[in-house]
Amino acid sequence: MVFIVPFLKKINVMNTSKISGVSKGLLLIVGCLFIASLFYPMWQIELEAPQYPEGLVLKLHANKIGGDVEIINGLNHYIGMATLHTENFIEFTVLPYIFAAFALISIVSLLVARRKMVLYFLIIYVLFIVLAAIDFYRWNYEYGHNLDPNAAIKVPGMAYQPPLIGYKQLLNFGAYSVPDIGGWMLTLAGILLFAVVAMEFKLFKRFQKNTKATLLILLTFGFFLSCSTKDMEPIKLNVDQCSFCKMTIADGKFGAEIITKKGRVYKFDDLHCMKGYLSENKTDVKSYFVHDYTKENILIPAEKAFYLKDGAISSPMRGNIAAFVDENEASAFQSKLNAQPISFEEISAN
C-alpha cells in the first residue's frame, strides 16, 4: 500500500474542484447499475457431464443461490460435499445492503460533486472487489475440500473445488465459473467509475481534448463485455471426440459442430452423428456448423451451405453428406460424385 501515498500526491487529492457534467452523468449510471445488479444473478458456476448434456448451473444472486441447486446437492451428497443453502451464507444477507450503499454513494457523489470523494469511492470499491474475490475463493475451497469421510464415492487425494474463474475438470464434470449479468453490470460500474476519476484527474492526457470520444470507447468496451457470446470453435483433428459416437474426429471434410444457447459446444465426426445426438438430447441450438468438403477442417455456417448426398461420397459414420459453401461448387461436384442435392431442412428432418 506504500505506492498509494505518492499516487495521491501526484493527482492532488486535496483538490476540491467540482466534477464535470459528464462525470455526474456517469455517476448516475453507476448508481443505476448497482441497483439493477440486485435483480440479476452476479455469478454462475456451470457443470457439464455426459449424463447432463445441457449442464447444471448454480446462479449466485446478491441475496440467494438459484439454478439447479437441488440436483447439485443430490450429486454432492455422493462425494461428501456439504449441501448448499442460502441461509448458510451471511454474504447473501449483507450484499444487497452493500450494493444499495454503493448506489447511494454514487448519487451523493454526483450531488456533492467533489473529485476527492469520487476517488475515495473508487478505492473503496476496488477493495470490496478484492475482499469479495478472497471470500469467494475461501467459499469454494471449503466446500471442495471439507468432505464427509463416510461418503459413498471416495477418490484418494481428490478435491472438488470449483475454479475462481474459468474452467476446471472435476472427475467427469467440467466446471465453468464466470460472471453473470449482474456481475457484468458491476464490472461496467467499476469501469465507468474509473473513467470518472481518470477524466477528473486528467490521468489520460492524450484524451483530454476529446472527452466524448473517450466516454464512447469506454461504454462500447463495457457493452461488449456484458454481451459477449461464444463463437464457433475449430475442431482439433485427431484430438477432439465426437459428442455422439465418442470416436476421435479425424476427417476434416465431414465434421459438424453445434453451439447451444447456453454457449456449450458439441463436435461431431459426421452429420449423421449430429442428427443422432439431437434426436436423443433436448438441446436448444443457437448455431450449426459443418466442414466445407472442398477444404480441410474449415467450418462454415450449416444453414447457408449447399449439400450433396450419397453417390461416391463416403463419410466416417455413413451419413454420406458433403457440404459446400458455394452453390456452383456443389453443382460441379454433383456430376463428379454422382450425388444428389439435399437441403439442410431435409437433413434436419430425416
Same domain? 216 vs 272: no
pLDDT value, residue 233: 85
Do residue 271 and residue 196 come from a single domain? no
With respect to residue 278, please indicate whether it lies within any of the assigned structural domains. yes
d(Cα 37, Cα 308) in Å, to the nearest integer? 50
Of 279 and 204, which is predicted with more confidence?
279
* Distance separating alpha carbons of residues 235 and 237, to the nearest angstrom: 6
Do 207 and 262 share a structural domain?
A: no
Do 343 and 208 fall within a single domain? no
The DSSP-derived string for 72-91 is HHHHHHHHTPPPP-GGG-TH
Q: Is residue 245 part of a domain?
A: no
Model confidence pLDDT, tens digit, residues 241-281: 998 988 999 999 999 999 887 677 889 999 999 999 888 88
- Structure confidence at residue 124 (pLDDT): 95
> 282 is in which domain, residue-wise?
256-349
147/264 same-domain check: no
Closest CA to 58 of 83, 91, 33: 83
In this structure, is residue 344 part of a structural domain?
yes
Q: Is residue 210 domain-shared with residue 329, that is, in the same domain?
A: no
pLDDT tops 90 at residue 144: no
Same domain assignment for residues 221 and 262: no
Regarding whether 262 and 222 lie in a shared domain, the answer is: no
Residue 341 phi/psi, 5-degree rounding, is -70, 150
Give a yes or no: residue 107 inside a domain.
Answer: yes
Total number of domains in the chain: 2
- Bridge partner list, 268: 256
Residues 288 and 205 in one domain: no
pLDDT in tens, 46-93: 887 777 767 788 999 999 999 988 988 888 888 888 888 999 899 999
Q: Which of 207, 226, 245 is the last residue of a domain?
A: 226
Domain end: 181, 204, 226, which one? 226
Position 312 in a domain: yes
- Of 209, 226, 243, which marks where a domain is finished? 226
Separation between Cα atoms, residue 254 and residue 322, nearest integer Å = 6
Yes or no: say if 303 and 288 are a contact pair by the CB < 8 Å rule.
Answer: yes
Query: Ramachandran region of residue 166, left (φ > 0), alpha (ψ -120 to 50) or beta?
Result: left
The upper half-sphere exposure of residue 57, i.e. CA atoms within 13 Å in the direction of its Cβ, equals: 19
3-state SS track over 264-306: CEEEECCHHHHHHHHHHCCCCEEEEEEEECCCCCCEEEHHHCE
- Supply the pLDDT for residue 155: 77
- Bridge-partner residues for 146, per DSSP? none
Mean pLDDT for all residues in the chain = 84
Is there a domain that residue 235 lies in?
Answer: no
Residue among 54, 49, 244, 340 nearest 255 (CA): 244
303 occurs within a structural domain: yes
Give the pLDDT of residue 281: 80
**10 shares its domain with 145:** yes
pTM value?
0.61
The C-alpha atoms of residue 309 and residue 229 are separated, in whole angstroms, by 33
Please say whether the beta carbons of 292 and 277 come within 8 A: no
Sequence-distant (6+) residues with CB within 8 A of 331 are none
246 within a domain of the structure (yes/no) = no
Assess whether 334 and 271 both reside in one domain: yes
Nearest to 324 by CA among 341, 347, 345, 348: 341
What is the C-alpha end-to-end distance of the chain, expressed in Å? 66
Same domain, 281 and 336: yes
